[in-house]
Amino acid sequence: MRELDRPLACVLLMSVLAGCSDWRRARPIRQLEDPPARRATAYLAYFVSPALKQAVYARYTPAAGGASLKMGEAMETGIPAVMRAAFERSVAIEEPVVSALPQGVSCLLIPELLDVNMEMTTLSFRKDVGAIRMRWTALGPNGSSVWVQTITGESSGMCMSERCRKEVLERALVDQFHKAAYELARANWREMTCDR
């Protein structure tokens, strides 16, 4: 195959296998399949930053023909799903300002994406391992941090395609959200003055 024909061939192959460019977008996560058995009674606000809404993981530079995974929609739907699973009540806000929280809300939760990693291990057999690390910070009534957890969502698979690696990262994101929901649900919010 001539060098100039390769990009076009790749585009055509990916279109057939994965439905055009949609293969690069993580699926939205609307609810957690295995939520915590008991939700926290605290009423928290949460803020999904523009950076999270536009989160993209790029394996290679686009000029090199590499793949990227757009995670913004999954973050926009997944974080509210975490809050519904972890708390009896929660509310999304547009600005991360503690002094402007809705009535009855004392604390503000701010999730932050730290890094996304995709590695290949070859100890006994080839395996692709995906990891998504996030920091979840709750700010108290005076604006200081009252609860901070750094959580890593993980998944793996024996991949021979970018579509498979996309699915590994999607599962890592779901794992991240499940772990976050469990940590949030079992935190002692009353002790942190977040549960009145």
Residue range 53-88, pLDDT digits in tens: 999 887 654 454 556 788 999 999 999 999 999 999
The predicted structure's pLDDT at residue 20: 35
The predicted structure's pLDDT at residue 58: 78
The predicted structure's pLDDT at residue 115: 94
Long-range contacts of 53-61 (CB under 8 A, 24+ apart): 55/113, 57/116, 57/118, 57/169, 59/118, 59/162, 59/165
Q: Which residue ranges form the domains of the chain, and what is each CATH number?
A: 25-186 (3.40.50.10610)
> Are 49 and 110 contacting, i.e. CB atoms less than 8 angstroms apart?
yes
DSSP symbols for 70-105:
E-HHHHHHHHHHHHHHHEEEEEE-SS--GGGPPTT-
Instruction: Find tokens 């699973």 and name the residue.
Output: 85
Residue range 123-137, pLDDT digits in tens: 666 788 899 999 999
The predicted structure's pLDDT at residue 123: 64
pTM for the full predicted model: 0.82
98: left (phi over 0), alpha (psi -120 to 50) or beta: alpha
Chunk the chain into consecutive blocks of 10 residues (it has 196) and report each block's average pLDDT, rounded to whole numbers.
39 34 72 91 96 84 61 94 96 92 93 91 77 96 94 91 86 96 95 80
The predicted structure's pLDDT at residue 40: 95
